[in-house]
Amino acid sequence: MRDLSTCRVLLVDDTKTNIDILVQTLKDDFKLGVALNGKKAIEYANKNHVDLILLDVLMPEMDGYDVCRQLKANKETHDIPIIFITAMDAPEHKTRGFEMGAVDYITKPFDISEVKARVRTHLTLITSQAELKEQNFVLEGKVKERTRELEETQIEIINRLGLASEYRDEGTGQHVQRMSEYCRLLGEAVGMEKEECELIALASTMHDAGKIGIADKILLKPGALDTEEWEEMKRHSIIGGELLSGSNSKLMQIAEIIAKTHHERWDGSGYFEGLRGDEIPLAGRIVCICDVFDALVSERPYKKAWTVNEAIREIENWSGSHFDPFLAKKFISLKPQLQAIIDKLS
């Protein structure tokens, strides 16, 4: 706790005798400032750090109430505690003082020991509050830092989970990185809030997490899948949804939705539930377009990479059937940015 001897008390009274008594009473315990009228008191408080003010009420030109009113109206001096010292001891006078923001009221003729005790009590309270505020500030900083570390760890785990699913059949982690960038870009283009864009960008990296549950003989088959194999492959959307389900995290909840619905089609011909139109969650519709686009522009053992122009034309052809036509139109308008992402992450 701050040493009370470093606290500064401003004494305000137009009677020099009263000032002399207060100075003798408090000088050995605290730093002191003196003002013989209200104007000087305000000037002093504006130019110096003051921890507490002992303020007389009955003064010429500007009484203590006016001084208090002006100090409380100034944001620089608003929080300085004020103790009124006055011979006016009627209840209405005390009530007025407290209503104006005073913290205490000492009646003249004052007792020296009482004044010292009241000053010490209020300064102890002030310094304790300041210390608590500082401790809260430090604690808040630590909490924010810890939260940031946890968020970074969560993001890293999510990205690694996405990479794990892709390495099995893509042989590269760049697909999920590009997907994340595409989704963020499309989310921004359709007017989503920044936080929502970031959530979809992160959650999209887990869109194929369910491939972990698909047998290698199917996942890594170089040729076309037969009907039975294709039905098994489609199960990765269900497996992914189950793998990501049950979390209280908004990010994981969106990831679950994406895993389940990113193969649904606008016309209802997709899988696994055959959702159509707006029945498909927006996150699923966004990832659907981005996933197909990246598959088209990526080289595979069974095909060469398409150009961005070729892939964009295919997206346009499937608008209204595979894809939400509004999202497809927005996506097509992003061709320069999409090319930049591919150039950067290929």
Query: What residues form DSSP beta bridges with 107?
Result: 86
pLDDT digits (tens, 9 = 90+) for 84-143: 988 877 788 888 888 888 899 888 888 888 899 999 999 998 888 878 888 888 888 888
| 61 Rama sector, left if φ>0, alpha if ψ -120 to 50, beta otherwise | left
Name which residue leads in pLDDT, 2 or 201: 201
Arithmetic mean of pLDDT, 75-83: 93
Confidence band (pLDDT; 50, 70, 90) for 278? very high
Cα→Cα distances 112→5, 119, 125, Å = 18, 11, 20
pLDDT digits (tens, 9 = 90+) for 259-276: 999 999 999 999 989 999
What pLDDT does residue 2 have? 67
> Token pair of 213, please?
């549950």
Q: Does residue 16 register a pLDDT over 60?
A: yes
- Do 4-138 and 170-345 show the same overall fold? no
Listed in sequence order, the DSSP H helices in the chain are 16-26, 38-47, 64-73, 91-99, 112-169, 174-189, 194-203, 216-219, 227-234, 236-244, 250-261, 282-297, 308-317, 325-332, 335-345
Q: Does residue 55 register a pLDDT over 80?
A: yes
Q: Does residue 167 register a pLDDT over 70?
A: no
pLDDT digits (tens, 9 = 90+) for 180-198: 999 999 999 999 999 999 9
What is the residue type of 156?
E
pTM over 0.85: no
Mean pLDDT of the chain: 89
- Rounded Cα distance between 29 and 116, Å, is 9
Confidence band (pLDDT; 50, 70, 90) for 169? low
CB 301 within 8 A of CB 169: no
Question: Which CATH class for the 170-345 domain?
Answer: mainly alpha
Confidence band (pLDDT; 50, 70, 90) for 287? very high
CB 330 within 8 A of CB 190: yes
334, burial (CB in 10 Å: exposed 0-12, middle 13-18, buried 19+): middle
Confidence band (pLDDT; 50, 70, 90) for 156? low
What pLDDT does residue 295 have? 92
Q: Does residue 15 register a pLDDT over 70?
A: yes
Fold (CATH) for 4-138: Rossmann fold (3.40.50)
Q: Give the phi and the psi of residue 179 in degrees, each rounded to 5.
A: -55, -45
- Rounded Cα distance between 33 and 27, Å, is 10
For the chain, the domains span 4-138, 170-345
> Concatenated DSSP letters for 122-153?
HHHHHHHHHHHHHHHHHHHHHHHHHHHHHHHH
What pLDDT does residue 170 have? 53
User: Tokens 């100034």 appear where?
Assistant: 74
CA 239: distance to chain centroid?
33
Arithmetic mean of pLDDT, 17-33: 93
- Rounded Cα distance between 81 and 104, Å, is 9
CB 34 within 8 A of CB 23: yes
CA angle 186, 261, 223 (to 5 degrees): 95
Q: Which of 44-48, 168-172, 238-242 has the weakest average pLDDT?
A: 168-172
Q: Does residue 1 register a pLDDT over 60?
A: no
> Concatenated DSSP letters for 193-245?
-HHHHHHHHHHGGGTTGGGGGS-HHHHT-SS---HHHHHHHHTHHHHHHHHHT
Q: Does residue 298 register a pLDDT over 70?
A: yes
Q: Does residue 68 register a pLDDT over 80?
A: yes
Name which residue leads in pLDDT, 318 or 243: 318
